[in-house]
């Protein structure tokens, strides 16, 4: 039962609960009109303590497509927060006005605190470099739809694997499904942290290999998940120049990729996927953004418990 | 060899890691005690090589959880009529609230001070705790 629950950490929901959300999202995609009034009279509050246009618009669009309304702030200087109001007091007040809240905050754990003081469901829309669970839901729904399954997959994750929170969440989430294999592609400086290797991969007996060069492994992938490699993350310029091209996906590298591989990216991209790749049918990152809205629609319906008459 | 008499009634905290006795002494604010207290440092121990000990000649309430966080390997002996009537081995608690604080500057607890500092045990053998909010992991030896 997801009604009344919060979503703070991508692992808050069981595999079965995620399945419920994904099935509902697929129903919405098939028959969006059937869902366009389920949230009539409901209000979503968007509490954005730091700007994130993409995530906010995705949530707002999700609620509007369900017939609900949206209120909130998207920069704290224009709100009571500027007067020094605590997260706890803000959420208690907002709980009086809205039925469900989405919160993005630069401090790690702020959405958790909000959920402790809230009478309405709270969704974490990103807390610093910590968690961004609806991105993980987006990634999983996209894989499920485009590959038809969440198991038996070889998933290449390329770029900044050290600091990228979406990468860590994706690894944890996909490790819960059977027989997935990971190929982790990054420069030495940006390798996956040891604690993720130990706590997630080795503990779960998950098959993984690490490689510095995308072109050496791209031919074995079902999914290529690209992330940005930031110049400032490198210790020296020499390494950056030596390796940077390896982390830019272009048409040349795509020639070596399997015909049914899909390319995903949490967006926004900077230069890690060349624009020439966009026209390749395997480039699925904009579809992924659309699925992100659908999965947020399903999540809102489940947490509000207004999907109950929808058939399984 | 230094000799300190046994106590009639009170508490002997034994098997304290050498160098840690003063932390427990300070935590229990024993410098303000109006009863006899002995802090013994670097006592020889067949098991530990060197150890610290604290003898307290009074039945005081001690927070075993907090002492276990300072040094999980200690033994707390309860003494009555010069005999040990109970030996207590602190076990690391699953949850610790408002004893240790999160030092992560990115954690929400660093910005808003009404939030209880809560930690959950992740690895007993290493004495590792995870902050409830930011997931930062701390070893007791670092705190």
| Residues A43-63: tens digit of each pLDDT | 999 999 988 889 999 999 999
Total domain count for chain A?
A: 2
Higher pLDDT, B74 or A76: B74
Cis-peptide into A268, omega within 30 deg: yes
Q: Above pLDDT 70, what percent of chain B?
A: 96
Residues B77, B116: one domain?
Answer: no
Q: Please indicate, yes or no, if residue B25 is contained in any of the structural domains.
A: yes
The 10 Å Cβ neighbour count of residue A300 is 26
Contact A8, A264 (CB under 8 A): no
Higher pLDDT, A230 or A53: A53
Q: Please indicate, yes or no, if residue A312 is contained in any of the structural domains.
A: no
Res B127 pLDDT > 90: no
SS (H, E, C) A228-242: CCCHHHCCCHHHHHH
Res A80 pLDDT > 80: no
- Nearest chain B Cα distance for residue A306, angstroms: 30
Residues A125, A168: one domain?
Answer: no
Residues B101, B62: one domain?
Answer: no
**Are B108 and A88 inside 8 Å of each other by CB?**
no
Contact A257, A221 (CB under 8 A): yes
Task: Give the confidence band of A311 by pLDDT, cuts at 50, 70, 90.
Answer: low
Residues A80, A200: one domain?
Answer: no
Residues B19, B57: one domain?
Answer: yes
Contact B132, A127 (CB under 8 A): no
DSSP code of residue A188: G
Residues B100, B79: one domain?
Answer: no
Q: Please indicate, yes or no, if residue A243 is contained in any of the structural domains.
A: yes
* Contact list, A108 vs chain B (CB under 8 Å): 104, 106-108, 133-136
Tokens 């630069």: give the residue.
Answer: A106
pLDDT given for residue B112 in this prediction: 94
Nearest-CB residue to B134 (from A88, A130, A195): A130
Nearest-CB residue to A109 (from B114, B133, B137): B133
- Phi, psi torsion values for B142, nearest 5 degrees: -85, -15
Res B1 pLDDT > 60: no
Domain end residue (candidates: B88, B104, B124): B88
Contact A147, A153 (CB under 8 A): yes
The 10 Å Cβ neighbour count of residue A184 is 21
Cis-peptide into B60, omega within 30 deg: no
Q: Please indicate, yes or no, if residue B5 is contained in any of the structural domains.
A: no
Nearest-CB residue to A107 (from B111, B131, B135): B111
d(CA B5, CA B57): 11
d(CA A148, CA A222): 12
pLDDT given for residue B60 in this prediction: 79
Residues B14, B36: one domain?
Answer: yes
Angle at A266 between CA A264 and CA A267, to 5 degrees: 110
Res A23 pLDDT > 60: yes
Alpha carbon distance, N-terminus to C-terminus of chain B: 33
pLDDT digits (tens, 9 = 90+) for A62-73: 999 999 999 999
pLDDT digits (tens, 9 = 90+) for A116-161: 999 999 999 999 888 999 999 999 999 999 999 999 999 999 998 9
**Are A109 and B114 inside 8 Å of each other by CB?**
no
Res A229 pLDDT > 80: no
Residues B21, B72: one domain?
Answer: yes
Is A109 touching B (CB cutoff 8 A)? Answer: yes
Residues A179, A97: one domain?
Answer: no
pLDDT given for residue B47 in this prediction: 86
Beta bridge partners of B130: B120, B137
Annotated binding site of A for L-aspartate: 83, 165, 228
Q: Please indicate, yes or no, if residue A309 is contained in any of the structural domains.
A: no
Q: Give me the torsion for CA of A125, A128, A131, A136, rounded to 10°.
A: 60
pLDDT digits (tens, 9 = 90+) for B39-71: 999 999 988 999 999 999 987 788 888 888 888
Q: Which two tokens stand for residue B85?
A: 């009537």
Nearest-CB residue to A108 (from B108, B112, B115): B108
Residues A124, A152: one domain?
Answer: no
Task: Give the confidence band of A312 by pLDDT, cuts at 50, 70, 90.
Answer: low
Residues A27, A163: one domain?
Answer: no
**Which segments of A186-270 are extended strands (E)?**
207-211, 223-226, 262-264
The 10 Å Cβ neighbour count of residue A173 is 22
**Are B108 and A129 inside 8 Å of each other by CB?**
no
pLDDT digits (tens, 9 = 90+) for A240-254: 777 777 789 999 999
Q: Please indicate, yes or no, if residue B39 is contained in any of the structural domains.
A: yes
Residue B61 belongs to domain spanning: 10-88
**Are A195 and B106 inside 8 Å of each other by CB?**
no
Tokens 């048409």: give the residue.
Answer: A251
**Are B108 and A130 inside 8 Å of each other by CB?**
no
- Phi, psi torsion values for B51, nearest 5 degrees: -150, 165
Res A255 pLDDT > 70: yes
d(CA A192, CA A189): 9
Residues B30, B100: one domain?
Answer: no
Q: Please indicate, yes or no, if residue B2 is contained in any of the structural domains.
A: no
**Are A108 and B107 inside 8 Å of each other by CB?**
yes
Residues A128, A28: one domain?
Answer: yes
Average pLDDT, chain A: 92
Its ipTM equals: 0.86
Residues A100, A105, A110, A112, CA torsion sign: positive
* Contact list, A127 vs chain B (CB under 8 Å): 108
Task: Give the confidence band of A199 by pLDDT, cuts at 50, 70, 90.
Answer: confident
Residues B75, B99: one domain?
Answer: no
Total domain count for chain B?
A: 2
Q: Please indicate, yes or no, if residue B4 is contained in any of the structural domains.
A: no
Q: What is the mean pLDDT of residues A192-214?
A: 91
Domain of A23: which CATH number? 3.40.50.1370
Res B91 pLDDT > 80: yes
Residues B110, B76: one domain?
Answer: no
The 3-state DSSP class for residue A127 equals strand
Residues B75, B102: one domain?
Answer: no
Residues A271, A298: one domain?
Answer: no
Residue A38 belongs to domain spanning: 10-132+292-304
Residues A116, A40: one domain?
Answer: yes
Domain of B128: which CATH number? 2.30.30.20
Q: What is the mean pLDDT of residues A2-20?
A: 97
Residues A90, A147: one domain?
Answer: no
pLDDT given for residue A226 in this prediction: 96
Is A91 touching B (CB cutoff 8 A)? Answer: no
Residues B75, B33: one domain?
Answer: yes
For helices A133-147 and A165-174, give the axis angle rounded to 10 degrees.
50
Q: Please indicate, yes or no, if residue B3 is contained in any of the structural domains.
A: no
Domain end residue (candidates: B45, B73, B88): B88
Q: How many CA atoms lie within 13 A of B129 on its CB side?
A: 23
Helix (H) or strand (E) holding B52: strand B49-56
pLDDT given for residue B70 in this prediction: 86
Residues A99, A193: one domain?
Answer: no
Domain of B69: which CATH number? 3.30.70.140
Average pLDDT, chain B: 89
* Contact list, A106 vs chain B (CB under 8 Å): 106
**Residue B132: closest C-alpha in chain A:** A109
The 10 Å Cβ neighbour count of residue A92 is 14
Q: Please indicate, yes or no, if residue B53 is contained in any of the structural domains.
A: yes
Contact A249, A273 (CB under 8 A): yes
Residues A198, A168: one domain?
Answer: yes
Annotated binding site of A for carbamoyl phosphate: 54-55, 104, 132, 135, 267-268
Contact A192, A227 (CB under 8 A): no
Residues B81, B29: one domain?
Answer: yes
């Amino acid at each position: 039962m997801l009604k009344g629950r919060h979503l703070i950490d991508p692992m808050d929901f069981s595999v079965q609960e995620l399945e419920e959300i994904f099935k509902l999202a697929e129903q919405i995609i098939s028959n969006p009109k059937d869902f366009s009034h389920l949230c009539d009279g409901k209000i979503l509050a968007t509490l954005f303590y730091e700007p994130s246009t993409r995530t906010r618009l995705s949530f707002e669009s999700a609620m509007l497509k369900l017939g609900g309304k949206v209120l909130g702030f998207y920069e704290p200087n224009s709100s009571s927060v500027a007067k020094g109001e605590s997260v706890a007091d803000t959420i208690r007040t907002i709980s009086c006005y809205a039925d469900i809240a989405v919160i993005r905050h630069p401090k790690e754990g702020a959405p958790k605190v909000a959920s402790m003081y809230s009478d309405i469901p709270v969704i974490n829309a990103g807390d610093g470099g910590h968690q961004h669970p609806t991105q993980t839901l987006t990634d999983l729904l996209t894989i499920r739809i485009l590959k038809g399954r969440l198991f038996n997959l070889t998933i290449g994750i390329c770029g900044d694997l050290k600091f990228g929170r979406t990468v860590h969440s994706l690894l944890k989430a996909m490790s819960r499904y059977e027989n997935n294999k990971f190929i982790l592609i990054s420069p030495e400086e940006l390798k996956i942290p040891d604690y993720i290797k130990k706590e997630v991969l080795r503990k779960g007996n998950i098959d993984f290999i690490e490689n510095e060069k995308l072109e050496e492994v791209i031919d074995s992938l079902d999914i290529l998940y690209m992330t940005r490699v930031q110049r400032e993350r490198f210790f020296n310029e020499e390494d950056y120049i030596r390796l940077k091209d390896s982390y830019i996906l272009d048409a040349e590298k795509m020639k070596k990729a399997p015909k049914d591989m899909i390319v995903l990216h949490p967006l926004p991209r900077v230069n890690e996927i060349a624009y020439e790749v966009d026209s390749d049918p395997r480039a699925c990152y904009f579809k992924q953004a659309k699925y992100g809205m659908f999965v947020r629609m399903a999540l809102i319906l489940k947490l509000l418990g207004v999907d109950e008459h929808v058939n399984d | 060899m230094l000799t300190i008499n046994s106590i009639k009634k009170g508490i002997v905290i034994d098997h304290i890691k050498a160098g840690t006795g003063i932390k427990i002494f300070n935590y229990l604010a024993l410098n303000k005690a109006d009863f006899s207290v002995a802090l013994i440092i670097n006592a020889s121990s067949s098991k530990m090589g060197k150890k610290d000990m604290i003898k307290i000649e009074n039945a005081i309430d001690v927070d075993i959880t907090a002492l276990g966080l300072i040094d999980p390997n200690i033994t707390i002996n309860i003494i009555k009529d010069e005999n040990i009537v109970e030996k207590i081995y602190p076990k690391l608690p699953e949850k610790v609230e408002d004893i240790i604080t999160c030092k992560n500057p990115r954690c929400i607890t660093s910005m808003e001070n009404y939030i209880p500092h809560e930690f959950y045990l992740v690895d007993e053998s290493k004495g590792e705790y995870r902050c409830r909010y930011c997931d930062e992991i701390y070893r007791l030896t670092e705190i």
